[in-house]
Structure 1
């Protein structure tokens, strides 16, 4: 009943939307799908839908349902507080979930596939889901680095983190060169239109930096759980999500795609510890996650005004207004 309620809530919020920053582009691609070379899953879904007389609205709503389903399936493996997480994500990732339907469909399939492969040890199911995620959005290829690194996150210390992030700052040109060579499709992320000033980058990254500090702190207190598969999986994903934090200070899209998309993992990680802790610690962790969520949500809605960036609020208003059409 909790899963169904969470799914209905998710769909009720996103179904009525008739505007996103990419809505017109998606409609054009949908109506001319044979002229575009886009991701395989979206292409095949669109071709089938168009052949049956459906429009982009139907395709969009289908993606929303599937995003909701894979999100909730993934969450149900770790916590019963699915509705709480969904509510926080809806409030915080409202623009991104509606706008980046291909990426987030693939992202949540990737999360569930990684869980099946690494925790459940269901190799065929895991590999199938991971393959399907990559066919949903090519940008997810970068996340596959997580798989060979998975066993090594238990050896991360605060000292090693500081050294790694410091080195990355000084090696940013080399990192860009190597990543562009390995993943040519990501070169657009390094274009001048995607760069930001260091001040703007720090402003946007501040919640992630604070969350990294908090997760590092609580992980040090829960090292004894590293041998518990579900705990270690969430911990490893949390630490993995911050690998590109220094370079993301300069490139906004990297921050969106490869750091803040893992908000669901940070929430689930803390709530999982909350569920495994005694009553006193549980109240502490739950209070912490609610407080952090509130700060992050307020920060993203209001802090950009400090530097005159009102894009996010404008998009939310436009999306809300579109639901009345």
Structure 2
């Protein structure tokens, strides 16, 4: 029995190493960072965000105030049992994280949906993939990448669904587990955020449900169904997961969450443009991004 346990442990260690290397080689996690740089350097992409800035800031202030007034003390009391003297600080950070998530969900649902679509399409136009965009909206001649965007023919980004909130509430208690709990929470949120960021791309490609699932699985890696392996691979991230985790981490930053919602959209569009042009290898990596990752190491 001891030899069998040792054999399984070695197999799982090798599997974990393989999946981790796959995720690192994919460098999909760099696209949210590329999105920041691209967004900052292309002023025309700012217009969709600035047009919704005032109501979004008002929403952010209201949600954050509400969360601190009604949820801070109860959560601080619970965290006193797990974090000890650091409970006050930990609870404040948790409330800020919760507020950022709620602000992002509400703003994407009611305030900035069209602005995110314009941003995504604008990046595709700027990356010379206008033919792809033309299937989802009218394209005008002249002007910058945003000015060329005409009337929407299709609206891609799915509005907020109750499942998203239920899933968020189910995972939220993980944050009460010091260190590891927050990591697991972010990874689980990221698994859904990755594919969701490409919902517009799927629509422009006119892919059906099975085609989308196939594409996601090709970029997600092979996960087995055994309970043991699912537990061991919970903290592992594949190509789409690595993008999603990086995006979720950025959107959890208090105050700046809306800004990163736009930059993450830009990053997703850059990745879509690379796939459309065939610049992404079978490993799910743009060659230039792999070089950047090696330099970072």
| Higher normalized contact order (CA 8 Å, seq sep 6+, divided by chain length) | 2
TM-score norm. by structure 1 comes to 0.24
Structure showing the higher helix proportion among its residues: 1
TM-score norm. by structure 2 comes to 0.26
Greater Rg, structure 1 or structure 2? 2
